[in-house]
Each structure stands twice: as C-alpha cells, then as structure tokens.
Structure 1
C-alpha cells in the first residue's frame, strides 16, 4: 500500500449492470471531469450526472491527500489537484528521509513546549541569566504565543510581533508598570534567544522541521553610550556626598577595579593587610527565583587584587571590630548590603548631590573603567591588567580598553629605522 495517496472527494465511478447480471465500475469520462474543472466555483452547474457524484459533491475541498503514520490514517484537503500532488510528493520524501513530523506534534501549543524548555535551564546557565529568561518568557513571549500551536507560528507572524515590541504595543503580562517600546537588546533576547530556544527544543524533539525565528529580523542595537572614565577629582566629588563607609566603597571600586557584586560579597578575612591584597573568591548575584545568592566571580575566575596603600586605613575602618567571616561592606543596620540597594539609596543620591547625574553613561561600573584608565595611563601592561581585573584573556582586555593605550606606531617606525642598513 502506498504511504500516501490522493482521492477525489467529488467524483466517483458509476456502477453499470451488464446484460448477464454482472456489475462493472465505470470511471467518470474526460468530458465530465473537464466540465467540473471549468465550474469549480459553482460545481452545481457542471455537467456531472448524479451517478458520478459523491455524497460530498460540491462541499469542501475537492482533493484529499491521505496517509498513514503513527498508527493513524490522516488527511489534508486541497482545492487544486496540483497542490495536492505537490504536498503528497513532499510528504513521501519526508517519510522516506525520516523527516516526517506528526500533525499532532505540530498542534502542540507553544506554551507546552516552553514549559519543557524551561525545565532544561537549571544548571545550564547562570542563575541571573535563568531568571531573566524566565521573566522574558512570562512577561512577553507566552502572552502572545502561549496558546498558539507550533505549526501555526510563521516567520511573518513573528516579524509582526517584533514590530509590536518596537512600538510598545505587544501583549504582556507584567506585574508592574505599563507596556512600553523595548530596546533593541531586549527584543533580541526575547525573540532571538528565548523564543528561538523554545523552537530549537521543539526541533530537537522532532516536533517541527524548522525554526521560524531564524528568518526574523530584529532591530539593530543602537551605538553604545560612550564609556565614562572619571578623574580622581570626580571620584572624590562623588565619595564626598556619602557617609564614610559608603565613600570607602567608592574608593575601593575605583582603585582596585573589582566589580560591585564582588565587593558586596567580600568578607573581612578576604583582606590581607600584610600583603596589601584582596581575595576575590565570590560575587553577589541572583538565582532563578531572583533571590540574592553568592557564586564564583564572572567566568569562575577567582583572583588576588593589589590594594594601594592609601586605601589600607579605609579598609581597616570597615573591618574594625568585625570577624573574618563578617561582610566587609554592610547595610546601615548591619548584615548583608545588596547591589540594588546600594545603587538606589547611596549611589544615585550622591550623583545628584554632586551634580553629576546628568552625565550620560555614568554608572557604578564606570569606577571599574576608571581604574583601568588610571592603570594604563601609569604604564600598566595588558597581561597584568587582565589578571587584576579578572578578564578571560588579554584579548578581552585589549578589546575593552583599546582606546586607552597610546598609539606608539611612530615609536616603532623610529626603532626599526635605526636597524636599517642600506
């Protein structure tokens, strides 16, 4: 039996009784088929005798492709024979090539597959990244596609959704705030990463043949805000608007280059006052449920950071009276200080008080950039800076701060010129 076949739902063979009592089946003649083809929009006017008409004559699509798969007989209808024939050819090729996708799988809802994909996240990405993916899925993706079958989500429909995200008109399930136009970076994460990953999971399970997200164009990211490098005077101006313990944090970030999360995870025992170093062995982050946790530093790279002598009294003041296992930076009433709390309640008010809140691109991370700027200006080589800042490679350090190293091409030419013999 053929794996797939086409049936005419409107025409059937007629039964003719012979003189000897036998019965034969007579196919509709060419004239009948031709008449029907010319009257497809009004089959009732076609010259088709009743004996050649099926019970479904004139209703629905004329042609049906049948096939057997997964233990079931399946059907898809077509108005034109050529479309039915093309579908059957592709179907048979898919079956032979083991690329066949069951219609039942194509009818799985996006939300069902998204829940299965979510279950694969734990342990595969950082907790903070997992939290962001889950949040984007809940707020932006599922409100639009959660109930839609996989097979009905097309590249064109996804492209129209991108336009809604750009205009701030996309459906959402936010617990706070109002719908708003999204930045290019956010749209890229929501569409290309999260939605695309759900379809990739469906492909790996054999539920769809292709990922419709692959053909979707997302907005290009706008040019990045210029990186801000603060001068020592500007660093002091910001710190001058804070209580001494918080001012010490500003100086610690600006003159050691550690990250804000790394600073919040420091214990008093991490400071080696004899060797003038800090052990950066952990960082403050969030888990998949947005709870504060501590993990290894970025890239799982622990390190020892040198501390300028001028900072020693400030660090001693932070550690004074506290045990080695207590936090070096603490909340005003003691206990753990959080990155968000310090940013909102300490950093932002200090910038406003210093008249620096209008500087585009000025963020806490600017203190780390400023450290790199000061180090390079004072002759620090790339490998040393890479080690201190915890970069994965010297290439990352060069790519990040290429604009800070002086252009010495002229010196190279002069040096070579001295060795030329002519």
Structure 2
C-alpha cells in the first residue's frame, strides 16, 4: 500500500488485494488519498473488504450465478425468480444498491395493491440474494436491513372462518366432481395444491387415513408441476368415517380404480391447476349465494373445529402439516381458550354443581 504524488500533481493511492490484483484511486489532496487507503486497510482487518470490480455485477446477474449453487425445491426456485425479476433495482450493480432503492421498491408494490404478506415474502427473497452477496464479499453490508415493511393484519382480524351452515350450503351447491375437493379441504385441512394432487392410493380406507404426499405447483411450460408438500409437510391425516365413505363413493362414480389415478382431474386429465380450481370455486360460490370466502378458509374452518374439540397445539400442528408449533400458534393461537376462559368455565361448573338442594336443606336445616 502506498500514496504517491504523480507528475501532474494528483495523489495516487494504491494497494494489492489478497489475490495480488492492484487497485488504485486518484485524489487532489494527499490527506484524502491516505484516508481512502486507511479505510481499505480497516476493511481488510475487520473482514469487510469488498473487491470493487466484483461489486459491479448486477443484482439479476449475481442471482443467476448464485442461485445455481443453492439447494432449493422447485417452488422455491419459482418464488425467488419471481421476486428478483419484479425487483425494481434488478439491473443495478449490486455494489450500488442502497436502502433507498429497497424502500422505493416496497412503496411501488404497495401502490400496485400487493398484499402485505406478498410484499414481505418478495423482500425476504431478495434479501436472501443480498445476503448471499454479502457472504461472498461482493458488498460490505445488506442495504435491505432496517427497511420498514407493511404490517400484516393480526390473524384474528384477517381470518375469515366460514360457519358450518355456510360450508354445508357450499357443499350442497358444488357440482359432483368438485364436492369431494371441498370436503377434503374442510374436513381434512388440505391446502388447495395438496387436494389437487390426491391419488386413490393415498387413501387408507380401513385405517381411515389420508396420506398427503405431494402438491400441484404452478404450471411450467404448459405442464402441471408436482412437488413435495409445502415446507416438507408430508403427513398422515386421520379422517372421519363419513369422509372416507364420501371418497369411496366419489371414486366409484367417477371410475377411479388404480392406486395412482388422480381423484380430481382438469380438462386434460391431469390434476387440476389452481386456476381451474379457482374457476370451479367461484362458480360454486355464485350458485350457493353465500357471502364469499376463500377456498383456503376451509383450512381455517378445519383448524378451528379441532381446537374447539379440545385438540392440543401439537395435534393441530401435525394435522395441518405446519413445520413448527409456533406457526400453528401464530396463526390460530387466538382460537384456543385463555387462562381467563378456563377460570371462568371452572367457576361456572362450581356454581352449577352448587345449585341443587343441599343435604342440610333436605334434613330441615341446621341444628342448633
């Protein structure tokens, strides 16, 4: 490292990195040249040194190279690619990305009407890319740190749980081929993609169990894509006798015989894509004449039923296929009775038990 004065009067500061490559910068004043060199020296000592040349790669170019080294499921690849592709600073050199770029992107997504959860997911995915660049020493800090994101409504306010009567009306209004689909979402808690990917072999009729082994993903190049359930939530769900009977009747009426045959099919004989299911659902709601709710709300309906019946957190977690019990509590914690509720119920039981005629009253009152 050195600072030297050039013949033209400009001060040249230079150093060599760990790979032997020389870097230089020119300044009008010696003090500025030395300050820059001191800053570089400090970054080398603290381990935050960044090669200026490597930082010139764009965000999208770095993602294209970095993503090839990541061990991801197909749905993660799709989500990450979408986030980077729609990122407003994807074409900027990664070393030039500032916090203001991220804040502007968040504001634009809000203006476009994206849900708070969607914005948070996309920012989180891009943040993973930036932190990958940080670990690879392309940048010295993560510019997305501390960026304020839109708040997600609390679960108890955002959640719409249909009533049993509403579910019954919708089931009655649904066409025959779609009725069972609604039932496995409402009475087994399956996600849309999981229900769409059910095969006859996934049903164990004697044990009354349903094996959730796969899910339908977004179509890729016109083809239906299948993957493992979300977040590794492959599971066995215990189902009611009536649902088991309903599955058997559905399979018989539609001619589903082989173990690997799909219980539900789209126009091409493949498992139905989410757009197809969405169309069936909208038509069913129109015919039912109920206040609209999402197909995914049937999963909330199922969870609320388990909780109301006294199922503990771990039981509900396993039935829904949540990776962690904290996810279940974050989503449905408000549905479990609180300590105050239990105290109130216990006091009520004491009162009810004390309302009958006492032994003393039956014997004519106390003796003096």
TM over 0.5: yes
Cα contact 1:270–1:279 (8 A) shared by 2: yes
Ranked by relative contact order (alpha carbons within 8 Å, sequence separation 6 or more), the top structure is: 2
* 1:4 paired residue number: 2
Deviation at 1:247, TM superposition (A): 1.8
Q: Paired residue for 1:254, among 182, 186, 190?
A: 186
- Note closer, same or farther for the CA distance 1:78–1:353 as it changes in structure 2 (3 Å cut): farther
Whether the 8 Å contact between 1:203 and 1:209 is mirrored in structure 2 is yes
Give the equivalent residue in structure 2 for 1:128: 75
Name 1:409's counterpart in structure 2. 343
SS in 1 for 2:86: helix
Counterpart-to-counterpart distance in 1, 2:330 and 2:119: 25
User: Residue 274 of structure 2: which of 322, 330, 339 is its match?
Assistant: 339
CA contact (8 A) 1:131 1:290 kept: no
Contact 1:268–1:323, Cα closer than 8 Å, also in 2? yes
Q: Does 1:109 align with 2:45?
A: no
- TM-score normalised by the chain length of structure 2: 0.79
1:67 corresponds to which residue? Answer: 15
SS in 2 for 1:248: helix
Aligned partners of 1:372 and 1:385 also within 8 Å: yes
Partner of 2:358: none
Query: How far apart in 2 are the matches of 1:161 and 1:269?
Result: 46
CA contact (8 A) 2:83 2:125 kept: no
Contact 2:2–2:13 (Cα < 8 Å) also in 1: yes
Q: Return the alpha-carbon distance in structure 2 between the equivalents of residues 263 and 132 of structure 1.
A: 21
Give the 3-state SS of the residue equivalent to 1:66 in structure 2. Answer: strand
Q: How far off is 1:408 after superposition?
A: 0.8
Check whether the contact 1:6–1:85 (CA below 8 A) recurs between aligned residues. no
Name which one, 1 or 2, has greater alpha-carbon Rg: 1
Alignment partner, residue 269 of structure 1: 201
Looking at structure 2, the residues matched to 405 and 314 of structure 1 have their Cα atoms a distance apart, in angstroms, of: 30
Q: Note closer, same or farther for the CA distance 1:114–1:307 as it changes in structure 2 (3 Å cut).
A: closer
- State which of 192, 208, 213 in structure 2 corresponds to 1:281: 213
Equivalences for 1:265-414 in 2 at 5 Å? 265-286=197-218, 292-320=224-252, 321=255, 322-331=257-266, 334-343=269-278, 345-356=279-290, 359=292, 362-406=293-337, 407-411=341-345
Q: Which moved more, 1:110-119 or 1:73-82?
A: 73-82
Aligned residues: 342
Q: Distance in 2 between matches of 1:339 and 1:262?
A: 11
Structure 1 gap ranges (5+)? 10-53, 168-179, 417-422
Alignment RMSD (CA, Å): 3.2
2:34 & 2:14 partners in 1: Cα distance?
Answer: 11
**CA 289–128 in structure 1, closer or farther in 2 if over 3 Å, else same:** farther
1:181–1:260 Cα change, 3 Å: closer
Question: 1:245 and 2:192 equivalent?
Answer: no
Whether the aligned pair in 1 keeps the contact of 2:180 and 2:246 (CA below 8 Å) is: yes
SS of 1:275's equivalent in the other structure is coil
Question: SS at 1:75's partner residue?
Answer: strand
1:290 deviation in Å?
A: 8.6
Q: Does 1:150 align with 2:150?
A: no
Deviation per CA, 1:173-196, whole angstroms, max 9, x where unpaired? Answer: xxxxxxx354433333333431x3
Partner of 1:210: 141
CA distance in 1, matches of 2:268, 2:81: 33
User: Could you say if the C-alpha distance between residues 216 and 290 of structure 1 is closer, same or farther in structure 2, counting changes exceeding 3 Å?
Assistant: farther
Q: 2:149, 2:4 → 1: CA distance?
A: 41
Please state how far the C-alpha of 1:115 moved relative to its aligned partner: 1.5
Offset from partner CA, 1:125-157 (integer Å, 9 cap, x none): 33212201112212334xx342x3333223334
**Shift in Å, 1:369:** 1.5
Identify if the C-alpha distance between structure 1 residues 310 and 133 changes in structure 2 by more than 3 Å, giving closer, same or farther.
same
Deviation at 1:291, TM superposition (A): 5.0
Quote the Cα distance in structure 1 between the aligned partners of 2:275 and 2:46. 54
Give me the TM-score of the superposition, normalised by structure 1: 0.70
Deviations 1:278-318 (A, max 9, x none): 22233323488795333333343433323323334421222
Deviations 1:39-82 (A, max 9, x none): xxxxxxxxxxxxxxx5x46xxxx543233445454332334443
Instruction: Determine helix, strand or coil for the equivalent of 2:211.
Output: strand
